[in-house]
Amino acid sequence: MNRRIGSYILLAALCLTGLFSCLGGSDGYEYEISTDAQLTSFSLSHDSLAVLAKAKFSIDQANSLIYNYDSLPFLTDTAIIASRAIVKYTAGSGSAVSIRLEYLDGDTTWIASGDSMRFAASFSLQLYAPSGKSKTYNVRVNVHSVDPDSIQYRSSTMAEVPVLPTPDWATLTQDCPDNLEVVACLGFLRPDEQRDLALVVKDEDDDLRFAFTKDLVDYQLGDKIPEGFPLTGFTIFNNRSFAGLLTIISSLQSVWATEDGLYWTNLFGTGGRMPLIEGGNAFAYNGEIWFMNGRVVAANAYDGLVNGGYNSKIFFSIDGGVVWREKPQKMQPPTAFPLRQDATVVVDEDGDYFYIVGGRNAGVLNDVWKAALNSRLFEH
Distance CA 211, CA 204 (A): 13
- Check if the beta carbon of residue 294 is closer than 8 Å to that of residue 240: no
- Are residues 135 and 183 both part of a single domain? no
- Are residues 112 and 255 both part of a single domain? no
pLDDT in tens, 351-377: 999 999 999 998 999 999 999 998 887
- Are residues 133 and 255 both part of a single domain? no
Tally the domains of the chain. 3
DSSP string, 40-57: EEEEEE-TT-HHHHHPPE
Distance CA 82, CA 48 (A): 11
Q: What is residue 201's predicted lDDT score, i.e. its pLDDT?
A: 93
- What are 235's strand-pairing partners? 249
For the cut 50, the answer to whether the pLDDT of residue 135 exceeds it is yes
Closest CA to 242 of 227, 257, 223: 257
Q: For position 26, which CATH number holds?
A: 2.60.40
pLDDT in tens, 322-340: 889 999 988 999 999 999 9
Distance CA 125, CA 163 (A): 51
For the cut 70, the answer to whether the pLDDT of residue 28 exceeds it is no
Residues of the domain holding 203: 167-225
Boundary (domain end) residue, out of 201, 225, 249: 225
- Are residues 205 and 158 both part of a single domain? no
pLDDT in tens, 190-245: 887 778 899 999 998 999 999 999 988 889 999 999 988 999 888 888 766 565 67
- Are residues 245 and 299 both part of a single domain? yes
- Are residues 270 and 336 both part of a single domain? yes
- Taking the complete model, does pTM exceed 0.85, yes or no? no
- Are residues 37 and 77 both part of a single domain? yes
- Are residues 152 and 293 both part of a single domain? yes
- Are residues 157 and 127 both part of a single domain? no
The H-assigned helical ranges of the chain are 3-23, 50-54, 169-172
pLDDT bin (cut points 50, 70, 90) of residue 80 is low
